[in-house]
Structure 1
Amino acid sequence: MEDCIERSLKVFPGGSNGEFNLPEELATVIVRGKGCELEDCAGRRFIDFSMGWGSVLVGHSHPDVVAAVSRRISQGSNFAYVTEESIEVAEEIVCISPACDTVRFAASGSEATHYCVRMARGFTGRPKVMKFEGAYHGAHDFGVASVFPQQPPPHPKVDWSGTGTIPGSDPLLLSAPFNDAATTATLIAEHAEDLAAVIVEPLQRCTPPEEGFLEKLRQVTRQHGILLIFDEVVTGFRLAYGGAQEYYGVTPDLVAYGKALGGGYPIGVYGGRADVMNCTREDRSDKPSYVWSASTLGGNPISAAASRAALAVYRQESTYDRLHALGRYLRDGMRRALMNTGAPGQVIGDGPLAQVVFTTEPIRNYRSMLTANRDRGRAVMLGLFEKGVFLNPMGTKLYLSLAHDEAVCDEFLERFTATLRETGYGRAPKTRYAFTESACVSVGRSAI
């Protein structure tokens, strides 16, 4: 085990491939996963509440996905072209998404959102794009901008911390406050002449949209001829089979998918209205609105075969009743743990998603998140990791899957309650990860 961990720490910054900023004594290397459990190189068992950052909604090593990939893999892994598997997945998405007349594949959700924004600019001929502060739309510059500003600038200015770009280098990106329909409508009207698109996570991280917010966003963008983009990389196939479009009853002009669609394999899909998507047609490359779009691994037959198998699992009866019931069970249990230990905090989320936020202030958007005690959150996450709960220690959302059940949630809740007590609440002694103002490092919000 030590050899694997030492090797990891040598070749990866911080010993991970990103986000898992663990102390060296908690560093680990995962060797296998089954259902909602992981095993590391020392044979240690974890219950997984990250689930590949939500990409493995079906559960690790789901037999149907494994069988589909096994059948396909000997016939070639990638042709960078259309296959029968990719056609079937595309047909299913067009069938269930009211936004999609046609689609194209990408290799990831980041790629999918990137193309949505480019198509919006090409189609409208306008340069500006608006996002919501605190939203993550992928690893590109606009996706990371204003994700976790420590001192947020006044809207619509964007914070470029963490992007690796020069601050203010892209005045064509604007920010708005999530769940503030009035301010957002005003900002859209002020920039409407130059605004190509507004991109939104319908469920921003774990913060649900307030009643009427998405409807107002749809209304005002349509009024000004601005394209509305739904980033459904997280919400797609998770809140409902038809994603956030079905769950919230609002239809965008463009939509991006990823994560759960691939059944644990890399995938991205973007689609929308036919007139917008036709901007990518190569026979129109001489037109001003043409937008180049291609992906080396997009729609590869292995990922498409896995996706087809995952979609069949999601279509099974009671899938979403089960996911929502399990999410409520976990969130209610976490709230009881906070109450029973006296920890000042709240639990937010929807569907099979949950997040604990250590503040009593109502959470509406990113700026209300800034009232949270992130040092305390960091200590709790590390304490849980030490107890064999695999999660992102930056305090991001917990992902449930179809492999979880109430017994696994109870196991988590027992460890959650114990960790709250050990980090300063209740009567149990504190551990080395107990919250103190000096011992815990403050970190930004997680992106994934």
Structure 2
Amino acid sequence: MTSSDRYRAMAERVLPGGAIGTRLNPDGLNMTIASAAGSRITDVDGTEWIDYVGGAGALILGHQHPAVVDAVQRQAARSLHQYAALSDVAVELAAALVDAVPGAERMVFTTTGSEATSYAIRMARAATGRTKILKFEGAFHGNHDYAGIGVSPAGPSAYPAGTAFTDGTPKAVVDTMLIAPYNDLERLRQITDEHGHDVAGIIVEPVQRIISPQPGFLEGLRALADELGAVLIFDEVVTGFRLAYGGAQEYFGVQADLATFGKIVGGGGPGGAVIGSADLVDQSHPNRKGTGGYVYASGTLHGNPIGAAAGLATLALLREPGFYDALAARTCALTHAIATELGKHGQGAIVEHVGSMWQILHTTRSPQQYTDLLDANPAATVAFDIELMRRRINVVPGLRRFVSSAHTDEDFTKTVAAVADACHALEEQDDH
């Protein structure tokens, strides 16, 4: 029995399915991580993997960047945790975050991206006095009840009605959410023509999973929110500081009222933020407690000094001139090489990429909305990704992946070779 097998058995005894979260490794891939550095992770058996998961995209500098590790170690020697008090590093990080986000005036810390989207929804409802939130089919905004509507339906939703992706969600919660197809302003306007008077906010992933916004879509959301008197929320838990230093708002040139951020704010560790206009974020001002217009937005670990130190160190490196252009160019080179290899083997697959995010999809055209992913061949995509994992390329099967500044030419060469080998393996399976 390998060390990974032993840890898997231990995990299955104490964790549901032996998993942390929803990810179960495929059969024969009982990976348990022991350490990580740069673009590589090492499991408890000593096997090294090239990692494209990157902490769900938050580790844009790679694992264990020396500057981030040094900042965490120095902060740990000073203070591990404070509650209900300002720390110097938290204030410095807050100032850096507000300066980074286009048009931002205020922010509140959170511990997770899920917490950030829940606060943003609460702020939108409080500011407008309305109930309903409009979100897009297939979009993921966290693990709270409101976020869990219309996430992964088996077919097209009965717009604007959505379904909960988890049991235990009250119908009353489902009824507060309106679901629309991404990239479809015409259908969106049909929904708001009927329900617009009760829409408190529109929440959107500027890049929905790996689906890019069509020209004019985000601009159309901005105009529609203004017309309705609703709050436009950009969920930048993934795109924030990933597409550009100013996130998707800088990248696409469209400004939201509120933007939510996650792990990258904590340098890849626990952390998050809601950042936006003063009139919305100041609803959480402590002096408003007990009065009308107060929004509770507080948590024991908000602005934790360790996370703040890691976040500050990360942001300093992301501000270096040319960082994002170089990362996008390298991602483009990788995805082009992968697409070429897939084409050689007639895989019937494309490689989508936006900035430094990418994903293999078994389809012939770029998806524009969630139903396009259903119409593709997700089973073939998952099967291919599992073959990549068997060749020690760490991905989450069927989900997007990320390039970090730590990935090397050697990593890319090995990745493309793994793609070719995976193609051969699947061809042999088809022959049998």
For 1:156, give the aligned amino acid. P
Query: Separation in 1 of the partners of 2:61 and 2:261?
Result: 16
Cα deviation code 1:201-221 (max 9, x no counterpart): 001111110111000110111
Query: Separation in 1 of the partners of 2:400 and 2:366?
Result: 17
Q: Say if 2:420 is the partner of 1:417.
A: yes
Which is further off, 291-300 or 157-166? 157-166
CA contact (8 A) 1:326 1:406 kept: no
In structure 2, the residue matched to 1:223 is 227
Work out which of the residue numbers 101, 105, 123 in structure 2 matches 1:101.
105
Query: Separation in 2 of the partners of 1:378 and 1:164?
Result: 28
Query: Separation in 2 of the partners of 1:116 and 1:93?
Result: 16
CA contact (8 A) 1:99 1:255 kept: no
In structure 1, the residue matched to 2:11 is 8
Deviation at 1:9, TM superposition (A): 2.5
For 1:137, give the aligned amino acid. H
Structure 2 residues without counterparts, runs of 5 or longer: none
CA contact (8 A) 1:100 1:272 kept: yes
Distance 1:169 1:196, change over 3 A: closer
Listed as ranges, the matches of 1:45-444 within 5 Å are 45-80=48-83, 81-162=85-166, 164-166=168-170, 169-393=173-397, 395-424=398-427, 429-430=428-429
CA contact (8 A) 1:89 1:304 kept: yes
Query: Separation in 2 of the partners of 1:337 and 1:167?
Result: 47
Query: Separation in 2 of the partners of 1:147 and 1:17?
Result: 20
Aligned length, in residue pairs: 428
CA contact (8 A) 1:280 1:293 kept: yes
For 2:322, give the aligned amino acid. S
Deviation at 1:162, TM superposition (A): 3.0
CA contact (8 A) 2:137 2:370 kept: yes
For 1:398, give the aligned amino acid. R
For 1:249, give the aligned amino acid. G
Query: Separation in 2 of the partners of 1:412 and 1:207?
Result: 23
Deviation at 1:188, TM superposition (A): 2.4
Query: Separation in 2 of the partners of 1:257 and 1:154?
Result: 30
Query: Separation in 2 of the partners of 1:268 and 1:178?
Result: 25
Which is further off, 77-86 or 242-251? 77-86
Distance 1:317 1:169, change over 3 A: closer
CA contact (8 A) 1:324 1:351 kept: yes
Give the alignment's Cα RMSD to 1 decimal: 1.7
Structure 1 residues without counterparts, runs of 5 or longer: 437-448
Query: Separation in 2 of the partners of 1:233 and 1:362?
Result: 23
For 1:5, give the aligned amino acid. R
SS of match in other structure, 1:85 = helix
Cα deviation code 1:113-150 (max 9, x no counterpart): 11000010011110000111111111112223211111
Query: Separation in 1 of the partners of 2:287 and 2:364?
Result: 56
Identity between Structure 1 and Structure 2 (%): 36
SS of match in other structure, 1:26 = coil
Deviation at 1:361, TM superposition (A): 4.1
Distance 1:345 1:167, change over 3 A: farther
CA contact (8 A) 2:150 2:157 kept: no
CA contact (8 A) 1:99 1:254 kept: no
Query: Separation in 2 of the partners of 1:154 and 1:53?
Result: 30
Query: Separation in 1 of the partners of 2:17 and 2:29?
Result: 12
Deviation at 1:385, TM superposition (A): 0.9
Deviation at 1:167, TM superposition (A): 5.6
Query: Separation in 1 of the partners of 2:106 and 2:172?
Result: 35
For 2:279, give the aligned amino acid. D
Cα deviation code 1:125-183 (max 9, x no counterpart): 10000111111111112223211111332211112133542567521101111111111
CA contact (8 A) 1:361 1:371 kept: no
Query: Separation in 2 of the partners of 1:229 and 1:435?
Result: 50
Query: Separation in 2 of the partners of 1:20 and 1:384?
Result: 16
Query: Separation in 2 of the partners of 1:163 and 1:230?
Result: 27
Distance 1:349 1:168, change over 3 A: farther
Distance 1:54 1:331, change over 3 A: same
Deviation at 1:94, TM superposition (A): 1.3
For 2:47, give the aligned amino acid. R
TM-score, with length taken from structure 2: 0.95
SS of match in other structure, 2:55 = helix
Distance 1:91 1:376, change over 3 A: same
Query: Separation in 2 of the partners of 1:20 and 1:115?
Result: 26
Query: Separation in 2 of the partners of 1:79 and 1:293?
Result: 17
CA contact (8 A) 2:149 2:174 kept: no
Query: Separation in 1 of the partners of 2:236 and 2:34?
Result: 30
Which is further off, 124-133 or 336-345? 336-345
CA contact (8 A) 2:284 2:296 kept: yes
Cα deviation code 1:360-410 (max 9, x no counterpart): 2441010111112122112111111111111112x1001111101333122
CA contact (8 A) 1:103 1:271 kept: yes
CA contact (8 A) 1:156 1:176 kept: yes
Query: Separation in 1 of the partners of 2:167 and 2:141?
Result: 12
Deviation at 1:280, TM superposition (A): 1.0
CA contact (8 A) 2:136 2:180 kept: yes
SS of match in other structure, 2:354 = coil
SS of match in other structure, 1:74 = helix
